Amino acid sequence: MKIALIFLSLLTVSCSSFKAERVDAKESDERALEITDNWVSEDTRKAIKEVIKQMEKHPRFKKQLKRYRGEPKVFVAEVQNNTSEAYFPIGDMNDELLFELSNSGEFVLVDAAAREKILDEITYQNDGMVDPATSKQIGKQLGADLMIFGNVYMKPEKRDGKTIKEYSVNLRMTDIQKGIEVLRTRTKVYKYSDKSSFGW
């Protein structure tokens, strides 16, 4: 009976210690850093902002921009997850990159994700199911001037229960017509953890 009462009191204490509250994205990431060495959304935002900053300052890129009349048309291939982490949020990184490129106002984005669906719709419109006066014609889409490729690598270094993960976010831009590289950017993020301090 005594054991049951002790167990019940411990259970009550442990349940009453649970606390939940609403926080913003930045505070959420700061708290997450206290319990994980995994990549968090603030890492994505910082990495992409740094990549865009490097892009804007790149001397060859500045020269290349002058060659286009108006805004260059950019096709963004998906940034690839080359880390060993299957759950790395690569989708968030792709979305953030597209958002920042669009937000800069310097580019016309060629929508890779929508291209196949657009082609299906245009084919449907030209199969006699839609009034020819309102149907869109094949061959009117804009061709991209530039293409962006990217990848993320992670290299872990471990010693005495301590780990430093070195993430490298790499982007490169290529002139499609000439096949030459216009720019290459890289930003690194380091995540430190000490498992011994957590009793692991």
The CATH number of the domain holding residue 33 is 3.40.50
Q: Which of 11-25, 28-42, 67-81, 180-194 is least confident?
A: 11-25
Task: Evaluate whether residue 83 is within a structural domain.
Answer: yes
| For range 21-38, the mean pLDDT | 58
* DSSP codes of every residue in 151-169: EEEEEEEEETTEEEEEEEE
Planar angle of CA 80, 144, 173, nearest 5 degrees: 45
User: How confident is the model over 163-199, as pLDDT tens digits?
Assistant: 788 999 999 999 888 888 999 999 999 888 766 544 4
Per the confidence metrics, is the pTM higher than 0.85? no
Domains of the chain: total: 1
Rounded mean pLDDT of the chain? 77
Task: Evaluate whether residue 49 is within a structural domain.
Answer: yes
User: How confident is the model over 76-112, as pLDDT tens digits?
Assistant: 888 999 999 989 999 999 999 999 999 988 888 877 6
Model confidence at 118, pLDDT cuts 50, 70, 90, reads: low
Q: What are the backbone dihedrals phi and psi of residue 187, each rounded to the nearest 5 degrees, phi first?
A: -135, 145
Its domain, for residue 35, covers 24-133+144-198
Longest dimension (CA), the chain: 86
Evaluate if residue 123 carries a pLDDT over 80: no
